[in-house]
Structure 1
């Protein structure tokens, strides 16, 4: 019990000390270097901008959050079934996987103007970019998990004359769930980036647009406040995925024994 309490305190204390040291170094750089606010505001100025623009940040953050969650959900809904098809049917793998890799290699910023032409400047284009950015990690990790199913489990299922569907539902997919969760953790943070890219390129709302507007108006404290709000948004979405992982913990295979 004492060891657990000490571990918890360390996990809280070390990040806190790190944040305090970073803020102190930031303040020292601004004061000693006599940097103008337009170049680098002090932590106090950023905090003041956060307080003064709290309502705006919440409103614009909600718009970015919706685009992030929609894109992430679409990445899961399309990425997992396609990963199942790619890992199950060799002809699907040969036909579509190289195309998916080629699509992933294209910078999403380069695709953003085309998506704006096709879908307009509303939620649809931001959702599409968030989906494109988040889709590939879900696909790759899920496919890797399905292909990494222990051979002993597959042989056991076949010896029990399990059908192909039973093997998938009872063996392959449960064994791949840790990979799916890992891909989802990566995808949800990338979805935030995708939503912001959409707001940068062509939007009149959202934290990305607020950041761009603050930068163009040389309101650097507000720009840093928007960046801070984006980091909070990313952590919140990641936390929800972690909660989902704990909710399905009973379905996950046990970790390998320590040697």
Structure 2
């Protein structure tokens, strides 16, 4: 059974790689044959050359470091605040009924429209971008935490009461483990949207970061460099989500089983 599963997974990965190369080959052909202008689409080989150029000749590591600093600062704060808010709203009687309409209204506000206003309040530095990332992530994490906690089995809670578990023990041993799958889904979604939030902030008002670098590339009609930056952002996003997956498997599952 294990071998069948491995073989199936191998076939899927091979199929994905083949599909990716076919897509890249079509893009390369369209640009080389001038079916699509290089102003609108860049050949994958040119994008690869531009990526190498950014690392060898440019200061892309500096810009990447700035973007990651903004992202992780806002994301970690939003994760802690979102999980804590979800816990409080569910565990404190009537708190959710009172505060949920306000949270829903704030979540409905388009975050992009707040970026210029936040710029007036906070300037264009690190704090400005961290707050943007926070706003992009917080509500998703908070509402998913609420949903996850409400899915906790009543039988598990009864067992905790029978063994006279404290409130803290019930939260750590029963409630959070039960809600964790839903919370980790929120963390994965928020990781992608939070990175987009950081880029938006940099594109609107920043002297550094990948978003600022992307604006410069498009303003100079450097399509290859723009696609290179987009590719780099995509890779970073995939790695962050993979890191969250690894955290769930290596850390949380061990904690849950213990």
Task: Return the TM-score normalized by structure 2.
Answer: 0.92
Correspondence for 1:246 among 246, 249, 255 = 249
**Number of residue equivalences:** 254
Structure 1: distance between partners of 2:164 and 2:249: 32
Q: C-alpha deviations, 1:185-232, integer Å up to 9, x for none?
A: 111111101101110110011111111111111111111111001101
Q: Which runs of 5+ in 1 are unaligned?
A: 254-259
Q: CA deviation at 1:129?
A: 0.4
Q: What is residue 162 of structure 2 aligned with on the other side? A: 159
Q: What is residue 211 of structure 1 aligned with on the other side? A: 214
Q: CA deviation at 1:4?
A: 4.5
Q: C-alpha deviations, 1:9-60, integer Å up to 9, x for none?
A: 2243122111101101212322344333222221121111111112433321
Alpha-carbon contact 1:61-1:233 (below 8 Å) kept: no
Q: C-alpha deviations, 1:148-167, integer Å up to 9, x for none?
A: 10111112222333333332
Q: What is residue 8 of structure 2 aligned with on the other side? A: 7
Structure 2: distance between partners of 1:34 and 1:214: 23
Match runs of 1:95-244 below 5 Å: 95-244=98-247
Return closer, same or farther for 1:206/1:93 CA change in 2, 3 Å cut-off. same
Return closer, same or farther for 1:4/1:148 CA change in 2, 3 Å cut-off. closer
Alpha-carbon contact 1:76-1:138 (below 8 Å) kept: yes
Q: C-alpha deviations, 1:51-110, integer Å up to 9, x for none?
A: 111243332112111111111101112111111011112332123221111111111110
Q: What is residue 16 of structure 1 aligned with on the other side? A: 17
Q: CA deviation at 1:8?
A: 4.0
- Structure 2 residue 53 is the aligned partner of structure 1 residue 49: no
Alpha-carbon contact 2:70-2:129 (below 8 Å) kept: yes
Alpha-carbon contact 2:173-2:256 (below 8 Å) kept: no
Structure 1: distance between partners of 2:6 and 2:184: 28
Alpha-carbon contact 1:57-1:226 (below 8 Å) kept: no
Q: What is residue 256 of structure 1 aligned with on the other side? A: none
Alpha-carbon contact 1:108-1:129 (below 8 Å) kept: yes
Structure 1: distance between partners of 2:163 and 2:196: 47
Alpha-carbon contact 1:146-1:173 (below 8 Å) kept: yes
Task: Return the TM-score normalized by structure 1.
Answer: 0.91
